């Protein structure tokens, strides 16, 4: 479950989506350690439930990254340190709304 002390500034509207930057630490297709950035769109409840971590890991798996996965978001201590390593405008964007389609 997500550490609620590091919650982002999300609105009170439970159905409004917010983008959260996530980094999945994993292995690439050759087995070398790698970092995979994703921007995940979730509701407040999904964020509180840690669903953004699951979505980022599913996207990493779909992109052929290999387990083990360790995922952090922009509000986690490790995530804050990793934010400046990526051009977030080029990161793959995913949404829990995609699950509903």
Tell me the per-residue pLDDT of 45-56, one tens digit each, with 9 for 90 and over: 999 999 999 999
Beta-sheet pairing, 33-42 with 92-95: parallel
Summarised one tens digit per residue, pLDDT across range 58-78 is 999 999 999 999 999 999 999
4: pLDDT strictly greater than 50: no
**How many other C-beta atoms can be found within 10 angstroms of the C-beta atom of residue 54?**
16
Q: How confident is the model at residue 3 (pLDDT cuts 50, 70, 90)?
A: very low
The DSSP 8-state label assigned to residue 4 in this structure reads G
Can you tell me which residue has the tokens 């793959």?
A: 92
Q: In what helix (H) or strand (E) does residue 87 lie, and over which residues does it extend? A: none
């Amino acid at each position: 479950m997500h550490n609620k002390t590091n919650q982002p500034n999300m609105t009170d509207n439970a159905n409004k989506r917010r983008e959260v930057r996530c980094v999945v630490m994993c292995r690439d297709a050759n087995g070398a350690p790698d970092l995979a950035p994703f921007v995940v769109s979730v509701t407040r409840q999904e964020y509180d439930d840690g669903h953004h971590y699951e979505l980022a890991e599913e996207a990493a798996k779909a992109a052929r990254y290999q387990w083990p996965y360790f995922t952090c978001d922009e509000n986690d201590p490790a995530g804050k340190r990793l934010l400046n390593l990526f051009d977030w405008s080029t990161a793959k964007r995913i949404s829990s709304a995609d699950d509903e389609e």
